[in-house]
């Protein structure tokens, strides 16, 4: 994984990877199961196709998400899934999600 710039601490580096509104929602959706682009788009209300495509490319470049192409005849199917690194990042974000549920969703 190559990122931009030098970091002050580990949190700084992690936030650089998941920064923005949509990346954590993409990670959450992919934790449930691998998804095709359209499934992700429908599962994350409000995200535009352009932003989703851009974030998926960034997460793929960082080794968080893998993109798998398959063909059924002439139809190309692209599926996105978490890599082991992406799964470990989701595990690290779980306590943050629990904090949000306990303190902000009640």
Q: Is 84 helix (H, G, I), strand (E, B) or coil?
A: helix
CB atoms within 10 A of CB 89: 22
Q: What is the pLDDT of residues 21-73, one digit of tens each?
A: 899 999 999 999 999 999 999 999 999 999 999 999 999 999 999 999 999 88
Q: With CA atoms as reference, report the closest residue to 37 among 29, 85, 86.
A: 29
Cα separation, 106 vs 103, whole angstroms = 6
CB atoms within 10 A of CB 86: 23
**Per-residue pLDDT at 79:** 97
């Amino acid at each position: 994984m190559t990122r931009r710039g030098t970091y002050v601490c580990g949190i700084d580096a992690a936030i650089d990877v998941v920064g923005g509104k949509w990346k954590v929602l993409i990670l959450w959706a992919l934790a449930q199961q691998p998804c095709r682009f359209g499934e992700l788009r429908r599962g994350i209300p409000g995200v535009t196709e352009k932003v989703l495509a851009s974030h998926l490319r960034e997460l793929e470049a960082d080794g968080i998400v893998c993109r798998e192409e398959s063909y059924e005849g002439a139809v190309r199917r692209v599926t996105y899934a978490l890599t082991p690194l992406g799964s470990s990042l989701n595990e690290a974000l779980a306590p943050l999600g629990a904090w949000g549920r306990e303190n902000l969703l009640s």
